[in-house]
Amino acid sequence: MDLLSDAEAAANLVTEAGEVTLVSHIDADGICSEAILSVALERQGIPVRPVFVRQLEPMTMKTIPKDRSFKVFTDLGSGQQNLLAEHGLSEEEVLILDHHVSQPAGKSYREVNALNYGHGKLAASGVAYLVARAIDPKNTDLAKLAVVGNVGDMMARTDLGLIGPSREIAEDGIRHGSVEVVKKDLNCFGISTRPVHLCLAYSDDPFVPGITSNPNGALQFLQRLGVTLKHPSGRWLVWEEIPVEEKRRVISALAQQLLSNGRSPDRLLAEAYLFPKEPERTPLRNASEFATVLNACGRWAKPTVGARICRGDRGIAFREAERMLTHHRGMIRDLLQFILEKGVTEISHLQHIHVGDRFPDTIIGIGAGMALSKLNRRKPILIMAEMSDDPLITKVSMRTNEEMVQTGTDLQQAIVDATAEVGGSGGGHRIAAGAYIPRELEERFIHCVNRRLESQNARPGKDDR
Ligand SMILES: [Mn+2]
């Protein structure tokens, strides 16, 4: 069993279809997966009907038509094979391209799942790309979207860059000319759109004392270094525009700042993925900001706007996405403010807060992640929200930071174990995970997770999977 030959088999299978229903997830990885595969199939003359879902559960299964189309599931499906079977889908009409833990359920659906080949850092859009490339080697223009999806799913986070097959896909993009790799760039978000001092202040990996969460501190730091901060026209420059020599000055001063505070500079640099053909100073210029645009579209129930951007729409869809991004950021700012003002409840191994129905459940994880750098950084944060469409269910999101992951914290494991005990479903990654749980068992769930985190911290730190 190897990944490329299975991608090839999947390509043969899907190109035999007369028409395809493509069911995908609403996040950046899911939107990129859908775009990659739809474009590849449309180029073969095969009509595709996309269906986006927040997650596969009995309610959303109803949106999958019972017709003669071939059903492809991307970025979901592996863990919900029981639902596919219950929906009456036969083995012949299904293909799953995923990277979540597989749970076979009686039927043996055809599946290309990165995890089954030992690739923990290849997201669904990477798998979809390998299938698209097997359909036609000319599809390397789609490598860029796979880079966006992989970065959006945090595949580059732990290792400070993409590795293995997802890195090889980025190489395809470089050869095609649509992707540019900067090997040792500053590990921070917003290099194409944010004024440099805000870019530094809003990044918390690594946490730089005096700069992280401190825009004024960051500004003074840059002024002391004599960095050119503004364009002659008066607007702020973004990191991408700063001359290389000045970038080096900033990076070495940040390293010194970390060392003099007894912190490691290990996570200061990371590989960045730029898209030189996109317009300058827009969030489409680099993989992580591009992914944020798509996530904003998905979280505000407009995944198809994101899908149009993936297909190259830089007009109406892009302007709509920009408005959503502005709205998205405003809402997250309000949420952050709310968390800090209301305050979290700290227990032995985590800190938690319930936001009720004040904020949509789709953004609480992001707000929690941002709040964590202003709270106790030694304890993961657990945030809960009511689900607007189901009063009996509570959405839970958890976030921690790289330092805690390196000492053994694994939120995915903690959440999966706790949902096994309390009921509900959950999953995610070591650094970020989420669950849907029965509302009446919130308290018990918190304590289950707390106990799991306690036992993880008692173990010595393990290598990342
Ligand atoms: Mn994914």
Torsion-angle region of residue 88: left (phi > 0), alpha (psi -120 to 50) or beta?
left
pLDDT in tens, 276-309: 999 999 999 999 999 999 999 998 889 999 999 9
* Nearest one of 402, 409, 335 to 366, comparing CA atoms: 335
% of the chain with per-residue pLDDT over 70: 98
pLDDT in tens, 300-318: 889 999 999 999 999 999 9
SS3 content of the chain, % helix, strand, coil (to 5): 45, 15, 35
118 CA to centre of ligand 1 in angstroms = 16
pLDDT exceeds 80 at position 177: yes
Residue type, 225: L
Chain mean position to CA 31: 11
Tokens (6 digits) for 164: 């293995």
* Nearest one of 457, 450, 436, 437 to 54, comparing CA atoms: 436
111 CA to centre of ligand 1 in angstroms = 15
pLDDT in tens, 383-415: 999 987 788 999 999 999 888 998 999 999 999
Torsion-angle region of residue 250: left (phi > 0), alpha (psi -120 to 50) or beta?
alpha
Distance CA 216, CA 222 (A): 10
239 CA to centre of ligand 1 in angstroms = 28
242 CA to centre of ligand 1 in angstroms = 33
Distance CA 202, CA 215 (A): 8
28 CA to centre of ligand 1 in angstroms = 8
Task: Spell out the domains of the chain, with CATH numbers in brackets.
Answer: 3-136 (3.90.1640.30), 343-458 (3.10.310.40)
**Residues 6+ positions from 313 with CB-CB distance below 8 Å:** none
How high is the pLDDT of residue 430? 86
Three-state DSSP state, 170: helix
Report pTM. Answer: 0.85
pLDDT exceeds 80 at position 459: no
pLDDT in tens, 30-81: 999 999 999 999 999 999 999 999 889 888 899 999 999 999 999 999 999 9
Ion ligand 1 nearby residues (CB, 5 A): 29, 75, 123-124, 153
395 CA to centre of ligand 1 in angstroms = 19
